[in-house]
Structure formats: C-alpha cells, structure tokens
Amino acid sequence: MVKDHKESSLPLLSINSLQVSVESNIILKDFSLSVSEGEVHVIMGPNGSGKSTLSHVLAGKDGYNIIDGKIDFNGEDLLSLTPEERACKGMFLGFQYPVEIPGVPSGTFLKEAVNSVRKYRGEAEYDAMQFLSLIKDVCKTMDISDQMLRRPLNVGFSGGEKKRHEILQMALLEPSLAILDETDSGLDIDALRTVANGINGLLAPNRSVILITHYQRMLEYIKPDFIHILYEGKIVLTGGMELVETLEKDGYAGLELDSAKKK
C-alpha cells in the first residue's frame, strides 16, 4: 500500500472512547488518547485508575473485554492484531513485573526476539556472531554484563536489573511506540539515570513513548510533551509539568479530580 502525505500526518496511535472490563468490573470508560510521532506522553493516576489495564490492552493481553471503542495504530485496527503482530509492527511494552523464564539464557531470548521481528519485516536474521557484536554496545549503555546475558531470563535478577533489561530489549527492538509501565518503580538513583538515558537514547522524531509513572523523579531526565491524569478509567486532566508540581505538593486531592471528571 502506497502511503500519501495525508496518511502520514495521522497520529501514530489513536484510541477512541475505549471501554474495557475485567470480569464484570468496568476499568476503562470512554478513554481517548492520541499520540503522534515523536511525542512523549506521561500517564499518571492513583492506584486502580486503569493504567496497567491500558498498557495490557494495547499490547493485546488476554482477559480483558473490549466493550466499545476503537484503537488505530499506524492506520491499522490494533484490536484485530495478535500480540506478536503488534510487537513486530513496532509496539513495545516495558513490563511493570518482567516475567521469569527458567533455563532460557537472556541472551538467547534477546536473539530470538530480535530475529522474530526481523523475519516478520522481511529482513535477514542475525547469526550468533552478528548478534553478539550488535548487542555489545547496547549492553554497555545499559550497564549489563556478558555474564548477565548467560543467566536465565529475569530469574534472580534484582529489581534494577530487570528494569534495565527491559530497556535493553527496547533498544534492540527499536519500537515506534514504547509503552513503559512503571519502569521507574523500585529503582535507585543510579539505575534510574541509566534507565532514563536508555529511554532518551531511543527518542527520535519517528518514535513515541507513553510513560506510566507515579513519580516526578523520572521527569527530571525525560521531557514529556503531555501529562495526562487518569482517574476512574478516564483521562480527566491534560497539561504540562505544572500538573506534576501540584501532584507532588498536594497529591491527587490537590487536583480536585472529581470536579474535573464532571467537566
């Protein structure tokens, strides 16, 4: 399909009045968001407001009922794609709790992932030598040793190692949209800086990031374009850094979310 100029000015991701339930509880209602190429969106919100549900629905995890709404990713109907198709088309989810896979060395997993994506895109797969030289530089920036690549994926990794490893995967897979679900939680200051550098290194005019976070700390390193406050399944406020400042000072009470919701 030949793309014309009109199409390329469409947003990369557009979510329209999405309504999602888990079992019989409605988690997201009338949720809309539009992300254009190169933008960094931050989503904040109290616990249970639907942040992780959003990231899971975007990545295609089972167990969520999409009651209503539409999601377009790169002009395609996202909800009709399998999780692996979404990944191959450039969507990356940084997990809040990366999953352990015993017996599979993390290096093997990374090679498998990179080659799957390359195969899907019709590119030649890397052999072991090519892959090793590719991964070497990225590992250095993310402070990950060769020895760590031989350890089983996420098994016995510390909190910081898990999150750095997520960003390493992101850097290798070069997604067009990265959704990072609380990637900054549980990190010490050095690891936070490493992770932030990794994310900043990925930012490019044709890449976008949705950052889900609870804290201002990460935003000292990464400059967001928009900050959204998610409350009871809906974005009730959108703004800039001033929202975060109010939050840090007065908490969610200071934002008067209930009155914002009615507007």
Instruction: Kindly list the residues in this chain that would bind other proteins in the complex (CB under 8 A).
Output: 59-63, 82-84, 86-88, 92-93, 95, 98-104, 108-109, 112-113, 116-117, 120, 152, 169, 173
**Closest alpha carbon to 18 in 57, 52, 44:** 57
Neighbours of 145 (CB within 10 A): 11
Instruction: Pick the closer one to other proteins by CB: 72 or 174.
Output: 174
CB 90 to other proteins: min, Å: 10
Instruction: Say if residues 86 and 13 touch (Cβ distance below 8 Å).
Output: no
CB 182 to other proteins: min, Å: 16
**Closest alpha carbon to 73 in 102, 94, 100, 93:** 93
CB 73 to other proteins: min, Å: 14
Instruction: Pick the closer one to other proteins by CB: 86 or 228.
Output: 86
Instruction: Pick the closer one to other proteins by CB: 2 or 128.
Output: 128
Instruction: Pick the closer one to other proteins by CB: 177 or 255.
Output: 177
Tokens of 138: 């990225």
What is the C-alpha separation between 55 and 174, in angstroms, rounded? 18
CB 108 to other proteins: min, Å: 8
What is the C-alpha separation between 20 and 4, in angstroms, rounded? 33
Instruction: Pick the closer one to other proteins by CB: 174 or 232.
Output: 174
Q: In what order do the strands lie in the sheet with 13-22?
A: 25-35, 13-22, 65-73, 76-77
What is the C-alpha separation between 214 and 96, in angstroms, rounded? 12
CB 177 to other proteins: min, Å: 13
Neighbours of 254 (CB within 10 A): 13
Instruction: Pick the closer one to other proteins by CB: 46 or 152.
Output: 152
Instruction: Say if residues 170 and 209 touch (Cβ distance below 8 Å).
Output: no
CB 85 to other proteins: min, Å: 9
